[in-house]
Amino acid sequence: MAKDIYDTFRDIGIIPVVAIEDASKAADLAHALVKGGLPASEVTFRTACAAEAIEAMIKAEPDMLVGAGTVLNVEQAEKAVKAGAKFIVSPGYNPDVVDWCIKNNVPTMPGISNPSEITACINKGVTHLKLFPAERKGGYKIIDDFGGPFPQCTFMPTGGVTTE
């Protein structure tokens, strides 16, 4: 299942990251994203209604790929998956969250910003990684730099990403 999700990420090309303050607006957002050609979303756990918003988006658009972002601990990962999240994204590498995701067969993209964190992820068998904060770490240039010693990894840049 994880390969399908990562293929979907690649096919879409951009995954909207949303922080929803009002879960009653989540269904409309899901409809708009799908209609606009973006059938995926990462709902951040920076708001109190993140799990409720995930559930509402999936109910509104059952074929939409909805996951949870800014997941900082196992409790949030559990809550997200219970709400229907299909993947977990974290701003940093938390071995407890990664281990929980692996144990529960939930695709995860831990945040990394240096070679030590990349190596820790690879040692757990996780090679799809969130580069965060991408722009502050060097943007596409650091992805090229990381790609040399870590060709098995795929990086999703987040934070300060622009059309340039």
Active site (catalytic) residues: 42, 130
Q: Residue 32's CB: how many other CB atoms inside 10 A?
A: 11
Spatial distance between the Cα atoms of 78 and 162, rounded to a whole number of angstroms: 32
Is residue 44 classed as helix, strand or coil in its secondary structure? strand
* Structure-token pair, residue 114: 């240096």
Q: Which amino acid, one-letter code, is at 147?
A: G
* 54, 83 contact by CB (below 8 A): yes
Record the tokens describing residue 4, joined without a space: 């399908």
